[in-house]
Amino acid sequence: MDGRQTGRADEIAIEVRDLHKSFGQLEVLKGVSLTARRGDVIAIIGGSGSGKSTMLRCMNFLEKPASGEIIVGGETVKMRPDGSPADRRQIERIRTKLAMVFQSFNLWSNRTLLENVIEVPVHVLKVPRAEATRQARALLARVGLAEKESTYPLFLSGGQQQRAAIARALAVNPDVMLFDEPTSALDPELVSEVLQVIKDLAAEGRTMIIVTHEMSFARDVASNVLFLYQGQIEEQGPPEQVLGNPQTDRLKKFLQSVT
C-alpha cells in the first residue's frame, strides 16, 4: 500500500465551509472555513479553548457541527438540521478517507500492535487477513516498529504507541490524515521520533491537517498555517507569513508564549 496521492495536485481533498459548533451556550466555532488540496499540510495553531481540536473532530463527525458544510473528495456530507450525519453509510464510507491520530494514542490495549493495525482493514474494509497482515508489517516497519508487532501497547513508550497509532491510521490508505496534537502527551525526549514520522509522510505528499503546538515543526512542514482565536480564524497563510511576520497583536502574543 503506497502513500502517494492520486489525482491532480490542485484537486481539493477536503473543504470546510462556515462551520459552527456550540456546547450548550458556549459557541466554540464561529464560522470557520478551510480548504486542503492534495499534498497540502495544514497546521492549525492557537491557544487552549480556541476551537482547534473541535474543528478537527467535526471534520469526521466525532462532534456534530451546528451548521456549515464539509466536503470530502468533492462529496458533500449530508447533514440533518441538528448537524448529525443524514446518511450513515455515507459517513462510514467517508470516514475511511479521513484517518485520525489522537493525542492519547487510542490503541486497543488488549491487542498487539499487529492486531491493532489490521483491525479496521479486516473487519471494516474486508481486506483478506493475509493481505492486511502483510501491509501492517510493512507499515510497522515504516514507523520503526517492525520488531514490536507482537507487543501490547502497555509495554511501549508513548512515542512508540503514537507511531503505532500512525501506522494504524495509514492502514486504511486515507485521502486525508487528521492529527490532534500528536505530541502533546509525550515526554519531551520522545517528541522528535513522532515528528520525524510525520515529516516523512509530508515528504511523500500525504495530505494532512495537524493541530499542533510545535511551531518549528509547523514552520518546516506546513504549506499553510491557520491561527484560531476564540473560534475564529484570525490569520492564515504560508508559515513564513503567519509565523514569520504575524499581523495581529493576538498572534504575536501567542507566538511569544510558545517560543
Q: What pLDDT is stored for residue 50 in this prediction?
A: 95
Ranges of each domain in the chain: 8-97+176-185+204-259, 104-173
Q: What pLDDT is stored for residue 1 in this prediction?
A: 39
In the predicted model, what is the mean pLDDT of residues 212-231? 95
Between these two residues, 3 and 167, which has the higher pLDDT value? 167
Percent of residues, the chain, with pLDDT higher than 90 = 85
Q: Is the pTM value of this prediction over 0.85?
A: yes
| In contact, 112 and 149? CB cutoff 8 Å | yes
Q: What pLDDT is stored for residue 82 in this prediction?
A: 86
| pLDDT of 124 higher than 60 | yes
Diameter of the chain measured on Cα atoms: 56
pLDDT digits (tens, 9 = 90+) for 160-198: 999 999 999 999 999 999 999 999 989 988 999 999 999
Q: What pLDDT is stored for residue 10 in this prediction?
A: 66
In the predicted model, what is the mean pLDDT of residues 25-38? 96
Residues belonging to the chain: 259
Question: Which are the contacts of 45, defined by CB distance < 8 A and separation ≥ 6?
Answer: 52, 211, 212, 213, 215, 218, 225, 226, 227, 228, 254
Q: What pLDDT is stored for residue 168 in this prediction?
A: 96
For domain 8-97+176-185+204-259, the CATH class is alpha beta
| pLDDT of 4 higher than 50 | no
| pLDDT of 135 higher than 60 | yes
Q: Give, in order, the Cα–Cα distances in Å from 26 to each of 30, 51, 78, 219, 231.
A: 10, 11, 25, 32, 10
| In contact, 156 and 164? CB cutoff 8 Å | yes
Mean pLDDT of the chain: 92
pLDDT digits (tens, 9 = 90+) for 87-113: 999 998 898 899 999 988 889 999 999
